[in-house]
């Protein structure tokens, strides 16, 4: 009897680009992929953070380098990615939020959230895809979405707009790039405790409202996402494209 062989979760020999890699989810993504064997490029504007992270990853036996990159400067970012690639794996993670009632949203709020969460994400992914196509290589594009890309949220009109758009973008990327062997998927977390989100949880009423919706009864941690990132980057997810892995503790189940 010939038994099936379990696909590998190892990404040794592959090169990964992680944006927003200085802290939080991006840093966790870089660590996870380095632990799985990838050579990781940590990209962010914060030179000190990504250089320190690259040193720590290297010190524990991984391969990592820092790349100072402002993804909001889409033209320059595309040129830098082209010169630094090709990258087999992208974790399209850089993002922001300005939660407020829809009646109070300003044009500056709109531009700040949509330019980073959607426009920059689009052109980073485009640059990585172009590099893979030119090199004749397959690859995996992983976009950091949100449960708010599947449902609505109070005071989250801009964030929901950007993350719902990211879901549609990823599906269209999947269709356009399938013939090149390039996959595109999202990860959709619930509220994850990070330096960006931690100040929100100081509001006891807000914290209670969040925990009431997360059926498993706790906030997410960056570690909760690391397995999903490695899975989508690896051969274990070889037939997955154009879909979303929802890591939300049951938020969207009802």
What CATH number should be reported for the domain holding residue 41?
3.40.50.720
Main-chain dihedrals φ then ψ at residue 36, nearest 5 degrees? -85, 0
- Residue 128 covered by a domain: yes
- Residue 40 covered by a domain: yes
Is the confidence at residue 24, as pLDDT, over 80? yes
Residue 102 neighbours by CB under 8 Å, 6+ apart: 157
- Residue 239 covered by a domain: yes
Q: Which of 15, 144, 149, 159 is catalytic?
A: 159
Q: Which residues pair with 65 in a beta bridge?
A: 41
Return d(Cα 8, Cα 231) in angstroms, integer.
9
- Residue 53: strand, helix, or coil: helix
| pLDDT tens digits along 147-192 | 999 999 999 999 999 999 999 999 999 999 999 999 999 999 999 9
Q: How many domains does the chain have?
A: 1
How many residues in total does the chain contain? Answer: 254
Helices (H), ranges, the chain: 24-35, 47-59, 74-84, 107-114, 121-135, 157-177, 204-213, 223-233
In this structure, the strands spanning 139-144 and 182-189 are parallel
Residue 244 neighbours by CB under 8 Å, 6+ apart: 145, 149, 150, 167, 170, 185, 186, 187, 188
Return d(Cα 102, Cα 155) in angstroms, integer.
6
Is the confidence at residue 196, as pLDDT, over 80? no
- Residue 4 covered by a domain: no
Determine the pLDDT at residue 16.
98
CB pairs under 8 A, 24+ apart, for 55-59? Answer: 57/30, 57/31
Instruction: Assess whether the previous peptide bond of 86 is cis (omega < 30° from 0).
Output: yes
- Residue 223 covered by a domain: yes
- Residue 64: strand, helix, or coil: strand
| pLDDT tens digits along 29-78 | 999 999 999 999 999 999 999 999 999 999 999 999 999 999 999 999 99
Instruction: Give the pLDDT band of residue 130 (cuts 50, 70, 90).
Output: very high
- Residue 6 covered by a domain: no
Determine the pLDDT at residue 109.
98
Summarize the confidence of residues 205-219 as an average pLDDT: 95
Determine the pLDDT at residue 157.
97
Active site includes 110? no
Instruction: Give the pLDDT band of residue 206 (cuts 50, 70, 90).
Output: very high
| pLDDT tens digits along 83-125 | 999 999 999 999 999 999 999 999 999 999 999 999 999 999 9
- Residue 9 covered by a domain: no
* Segments forming the whole domain that contains residue 129: 15-248
* Terminal Cα distance for the chain, rounded: 44
Summarize the confidence of residues 212-236 as an average pLDDT: 97
**Whether 22 contacts 196, CB under 8 Å:** no
Q: For the whole model, what pTM was predicted? A: 0.95
Mean per-residue pLDDT over the chain, rounded: 97
- Output 185 or 203, whichever has higher pLDDT: 185
Is the confidence at residue 250, as pLDDT, over 80? yes
- Residue 107 covered by a domain: yes
Determine the pLDDT at residue 195.
80
Determine the pLDDT at residue 175.
98
Instruction: Give the pLDDT band of residue 198 (cuts 50, 70, 90).
Output: confident
Summarize the confidence of residues 192-211 as an average pLDDT: 90
- 10 Å Cβ neighbour count for 154? 10
Task: Show the tokens assigned to 192.
Answer: 């994850």
Nearest to 180 by CA among 231, 129, 230: 129
């Amino acid at each position: 009897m010939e038994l099936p062989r379990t696909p590998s979760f190892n990404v040794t020999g592959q090169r990964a680009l992680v944006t927003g890699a200085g802290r939080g989810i991006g840093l966790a993504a870089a660590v996870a992929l380095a632990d799985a064997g990838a050579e990781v490029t940590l990209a962010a504007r914060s030179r000190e953070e990504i250089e320190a992270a690259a040193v720590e990853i290297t010190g524990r036996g991984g391969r990592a380098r820092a790349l100072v990159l402002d993804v909001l400067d889409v033209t320059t970012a595309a040129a830098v990615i082209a010169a630094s690639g090709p990258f087999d794996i992208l974790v399209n993670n850089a993002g922001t939020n300005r939660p407020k009632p829809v009646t109070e949203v300003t044009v500056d709020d709109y531009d700040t959230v949509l330019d980073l969460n959607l426009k920059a994400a689009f052109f980073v992914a485009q640059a990585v895809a172009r590099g893979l196509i030119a090199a004749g290589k397959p690859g995996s594009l992983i976009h950091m979405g949100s449960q708010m890309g599947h449902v609505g949220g109070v005071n989250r009109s801009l964030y929901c707009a950007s993350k719902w758009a990211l879901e549609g973008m990823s599906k269209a990327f999947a269709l356009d790039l399938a013939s090149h062997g390039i996959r595109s998927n999202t990860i959709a977390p619930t509220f994850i405790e990070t330096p960006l989100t931690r100040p929100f949880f100081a509001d006891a009423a807000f914290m209670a409202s969040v925990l009431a919706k997360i059926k498993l009864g706790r906030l997410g941690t960056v570690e909760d996402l690391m397995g999903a990132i490695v899975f989508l980057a690896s051969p274990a997810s070889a037939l997955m494209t154009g879909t979303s892995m929802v890591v939300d503790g049951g938020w969207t189940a009802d």
